[in-house]
Amino acid sequence: MEVKLLSGALGAEVSGIDLTDSSDENFNKINELLLEHKVIFFRDQPLTSEQQILLAKKFGPLETHAYVKGLENFPEIVRIKKAPEEKHQWGETWHTDVSYNPKPTKVIILKSVKIPPVGGDTMFSNMETAYDTLSDEMKEKIKDKKAVHSSLGAEAFVKKYKEMEGNGNLDEYSNIHPIVRVHPETGKKILYVNSMYTKQIIDMDKDESDKILKELFLHQERLDFTCRFKWTENAVAIWDNRSTQHQGLTDFFPNRGLGFERVMDRIAIEGDHPQ
């Protein structure tokens, strides 16, 4: 096994592990790497849908997405598709997946099916480091505070992405989570807000809440918290959704990545109630 770090903040590319091996021994290696690096990448892993699901189930119960229809024979797999002429793609701003759920996603396993020759890299950011580097004054302001996370409704997931199909659910809902959560496996503190879904701090004046959240969101976008992955076909990313944020770059421009399809298969593993 070889582990190559992608940045000083998080992320590692791993070779010498076969993701079709669903033994406990192999899973324990993968999970240890994940907890250490927060996002890990594997190339040349032509997993079938069945094999991707077997790997995901080692982490826990699988989710189905609240708004988007999964594959016909594998409803737990959401196929994320950008049509050739689309300039937008799913997940194109910084976010933590489904933080609006009562039990937000624990881990994501994303496999590339078809990628453009250039464009569409994915960025990841370390939210443990984001918390650690806050000023003492800010840490005191957000201590023991909670915030509302909104699902935004179905339109946010399908309306401007013409290849994404809704599952019929149109309800918008929200849940309340701690601004600083504790990782259930490592005990590390995590800055648990994101600019896509976090809307207001509970028991705080709206203007003050907006000001603090804006400052936190800007802090989370610091490039020194990040790593970047350039996809190849049959590459797999596994990330800890509790301690990271991510975004898919929409750098699809004429004479560059525009004019090409991008297809990814996503499986999410159910998490716990943030504490």
- Residue 7 falls inside a structural domain: yes
Q: Is residue 228 part of a domain?
A: yes
Rounded CA-CA distance 201/16 in Å is 45
**Count of structural domains, the chain:** 1
Task: Tell me, yes or no, whether 275 lies in a domain.
Answer: no
Q: What is the rounded distance in angstroms from the CA atom of residue 147 to the CA atom of residue 126?
A: 20
Residues 6+ apart with CB under 8 A from 220: 94, 125, 127, 130, 191, 193, 194, 195, 245
Residue 82 lies in a domain: yes
274 inside domain? no
Question: What CATH number did the domain enclosing 48 receive?
Answer: 3.60.130.10
Flag whether 104 is in a domain.
Answer: yes
Q: Encode 218-252: b = buried (16+ Cβ within 10 Å), e = exposed.
A: ebbbeeebbbebebeeebbbbbbbbbbbbbbebeb
Question: Which domain, by its residues, includes 98?
Answer: 2-269
Per-residue tens of pLDDT for the chain, all 275 residues? 999 999 999 999 999 999 999 899 999 999 999 999 999 999 999 999 999 999 999 999 999 999 999 999 999 999 999 999 999 999 999 999 999 999 999 999 999 999 999 999 999 999 999 999 999 999 999 999 999 999 999 898 998 898 999 999 989 999 999 999 999 999 999 999 999 999 999 999 999 999 999 999 999 999 999 999 999 999 999 999 999 999 999 999 998 889 999 999 999 999 999 99
- Judge whether 164 lies within some domain: yes
The whole-model pTM stands at: 0.97
Burial 180-199 (b: 16+ CB within 10 A, else e): bbebeeeebbbbbbbbbbbb
Evaluate whether residue 61 is within a structural domain: yes
